[in-house]
Amino acid sequence: MEKHAAYLLEGVDACKDAIFAAERHIWSHPESGYREWKTHKYMADIFENLGYELTLAGNIPGFYTVLDTGRPGPTVCVFAELDSLINENHPECDPETKAVHSCGHHMQCAGMVGLATTLKRPGALDGMSGKIMLCLVPAEELIEIEYRQKLIEQGTIKYLTGKAEFMSRGYFDDVDIAFLVHAGGDTPLVYLSDGNCGSISKQAVFHGVAGHAAFPENNINALYAATQALSACNALREGFKEDIRWHPIVTEGGSAVNATPDHVVMESMVRGSALQNIIAANSRINRAIAGSAASMGATATISDQIGYTPVDDDLALNQLVCDTYKEIFPDGIAINNHAYLSGSSDLGFLSPMLPVSQISSGGGCSGDLHSSNFKVNDPTFGTVVAAKLEALLLWNLLKDDAQLGKKIRADFKPQYASREEYFQVLDKLNSTKNVVTVQENGDILLSC
């Protein structure tokens, strides 16, 4: 191994105590998206003590900092995600908020402590050209949509997830390449795929007519309108393209058992690996919701919001990740699976505009991501190993006059001419409309 590469890896090992302390601290203080103020403060304090100057998002948690090697070259961004999930059945969830890091994002932050410390070692940037952005980003998980819709209405944010929000603010305008290392799994390995699915988030509100449940003749039951919609959407599934998944939950189904529910809220997601298939399935689902509400004499309001766009990993960058992992662990397992994973990541918002890699670093975890049985048995893999991989990826991209970084960027073809043009396309997918209108003559009009 090159001497400087070894120096960077030693840097991560030298601050293991701080890494593990951060892992335990953030695990014990989980916060869901756009609420990560304690995690933000904890990480910002560490960065400031290391001598970093931070650019804060300000009205939401999160920040970034840029290290300049002083030599021209690409800007490479490394992410760490701040947010937890909510799993009320997880034995270690926060007793009040039910938040828990069952996606292991706390380990990304702890790994970032190692990377940030290493990059401040004397001479750490020697031999590299270009800039390094370290970005602590909120709200990767697409949950608590009603809360986030409120933040949108208040003008605090424009997008449901953090990377889309940061990107819309122009924070990544100068970024040439971006990646993140996500933890999970019990087998030590690095895992790459060609991409992840995207999704549209949907909230459907069914409006009925309330009244005493013992005298329901003139009531309109919004819960039954919602269950009709569930049936209709389920019946549509067999006609969906095979990459499409649709999964709903009912978040409000009535409040008192002796009153007919007149306000029922159903949240759902339409996922797929190609944006055009998502859009096609989405419009069928909206038609089914509208028709089902109308069939009960109810009305409905549908709010659609692009949740995630599909991630298209940069294949050359993915290959470099595998090669870099094998450099650190010559006997390690590096899997480059040329498939689309059905999970999603808001890294997808960047992938039409710049080369990205969503890296999974396995080892040390049991149970399933997002589940109440997720457990970190050995944080080494998700933190120390992740930080080493990040440090060496930066080195490999930016060493030798940033030859490899420049090539990966030059070979990449952005899908849109500008950030503005790209976000105009995304914004067209967001809408809120009443999909059932009862006209004066009694005719029912569906608009979906």
Whole-number minimum distance, CB 168 to Zn ion, in Å?
21
Q: Can you read off the two tokens belonging to residue 322?
A: 């595998």
**Cβ distance to Zn ion smaller for residue 103 or 393:** 103
Instruction: Select 166 or 224, whichever has its Cβ closest to Zn ion.
Output: 166
Burial class (CB in 10 A: 0-12, 13-18, 19+), 218: exposed
Q: How open is the CA angle 313-64-191, to the nearest 5 degrees?
A: 30
CB of 186 to Zn ion, least distance (A): 16
Q: How far is the CB of 85 from Zn ion (least distance, A)?
A: 6
C-beta of 182: minimal distance to Zn ion in Å?
A: 5
Nearest Cα residue to 351 out of 441, 412, 438? 412
Residues of this chain, 88-107, that bind Zn ion according to CB under 5 A: 103
State the number of binding residues for Zn ion (CB under 5 A).
1
Pattern 103-132, Zn ion, x by CB under 5 A? x-----------------------------
Of the two residues 343 and 414, which places its CB atom closer to Zn ion in the complex? 343
Distances (CA, A) of 176 to 179, 193, 435: 11, 20, 42
* Number of helices and strands in the chain (H, E): 12, 19
Q: Judge contact between 338 and 192, C-beta under 8 A.
A: no
The 3-state DSSP composition of the chain as helix, strand, coil percent (nearest 5) reads 40, 25, 35
The minimum distance between CB 148 and Zn ion, in angstroms, equals 16
Separation in Å, CA 20 to CA 24, 44, 306, 382, 388? 6, 17, 36, 10, 14
Residues 6+ apart with CB under 8 A from 234: none
Residue with tokens 């590299």: 128
Q: How far is the CB of 87 from Zn ion (least distance, A)?
A: 11
| Exposure class string for 306-317: b at 16+ Cβ within 10 A, else e | bbbbbbbbbbeb
Minimum gap (Å) between residue 103 Cβ and Zn ion = 3
- How many residues make up the chain in this entry? 448
Compare residues 103 and 132 and give the one whose CB is closer to Zn ion. Answer: 103
* Closest among 389, 388, 405, 406 to 397, alpha carbons compared: 405
H/E run at residue 208 = none
Neighbours of 62 (CB within 10 A): 29
Please state the closest distance from residue 370 (CB atom) to Zn ion, in A: 6
- Which residues are CB-neighbours of 109 under 8 A, at least 6 positions away? 22, 26, 39, 43, 80, 81, 82, 136
Residue with the CB atom nearest Zn ion in the bound state: 103
CB of 107 or CB of 225, closer to Zn ion: 107
Smallest distance, Zn ion to C-beta of residue 396, A: 25
| Residue ranges that bind Zn ion, judged by CB under 5 A | 103
